[in-house]
Amino acid sequence: MTLTLTLVRHGQTVLNARRHLQGACDSPLTRTGRAGVRVTAQHLSRHEFDAAYSSPQGRAVLTAIEILRHHPDLRLSVDEDLRELSFGTFERRPERELDAVVPWSTLVPAVLAGTHPGIGGGEPGAAFMARVRAVLGRIVAAHDDAAGPGADRDEHVLVVGHGLTLGAMLATIQPTGLVALPNASVSTVEVSGGVARVVTAGVDVAGHGSVAARPAPSVVPLSA
């Protein structure tokens, strides 16, 4: 049988709308963000989830809570390793200030490769990727047995997180680089026979058409 992971990025926040960096810090969902999350929640209402996980950060938890309004019997599990990458001293600062120091197209491959030492004293790429792989492994291990050989049904798990964190998960499974994930977007991963594959990435259900950290018109490659 098959384990399906539905990965949802949090709704648009105040800092997203202002084009300011938001990693370890947090800000409220905007009116547009709340509306977008409701659209995504309605879109996912037809699915039956067996479990739900979220980053501990407020923007992700609020997004998850809205989705779970359609799944009242599910308990939300919060995992610290789903939190977003810390931008250090660049937190809450305009994206252009980071661009002036290191272009996004240079930064992202280094983070995904685990070679970046950390932005402005923030989280090193190696530590970030280690926890992303760890939480992905824990979630799969917790549910893959139930959907594995001999199981009588599939398993479906909801994971709510952030642009870089969920993007890093997808890049770990299918190493094509960081895919642009709009706010409240939906990505799908299937695990069968111990093999994971990305089915869809960054489906813009809410119609936001923008990315928080950087607008990426195409995949940011793992190497230049």
Q: What CATH number did the domain enclosing 171 receive?
A: 3.40.50.1240
14 assigned to a ligand binding site? yes
Contact 163, 213 (CB under 8 A): yes
The whole-chain average pLDDT of the chain stands at 91
Distance separating alpha carbons of residues 169 and 109, to the nearest angstrom: 14
60 backbone dihedrals φ, ψ, rounded to 5°: -80, -45
Range of the domain at 137: 2-156+163-193
Question: How crowded is residue 187: how many other Cβ atoms within 10 Å of its Cβ?
Answer: 22
223: in domain: no
Q: Is 13 annotated as a binding residue?
A: yes
Cα distance between residue 97 and residue 100, in whole Å: 5
Q: Report if residue 215 sits inside a domain.
A: no
pTM: 0.92
On the question of pLDDT at 217 being above 50, the answer is no
Is 22 marked as binding a ligand?
Answer: no
Tell whether residue 183 is among the known ligand binding residues. no
Q: Is 177 annotated as a binding residue?
A: no
- Per-residue pLDDT band at 220 (split at 50, 70, 90): very low
**73 lies in some domain:** yes
Is 200 among the domain residues?
no
Across the range 136-150, mean pLDDT stands at: 79
Q: Does 26 reside within a domain?
A: yes
Q: What is the pLDDT of residue 176?
A: 73
Q: Is residue 222 part of a domain?
A: no
pLDDT at residue 33 in the model: 96
149 confidence band (pLDDT: 50, 70, 90): low
pLDDT at 222: 40
Q: In the chain, how many domains are there?
A: 1
Structure tokens at 208: 């936001």
What DSSP element (H or E) covers 95? helix 95-99
With respect to residue 74, please indicate whether it lies within any of the assigned structural domains. yes
Residue 10 marked as a ligand binder: yes
**42 within some domain:** yes
Q: Which residue has the higher pLDDT, 149 or 115?
A: 115
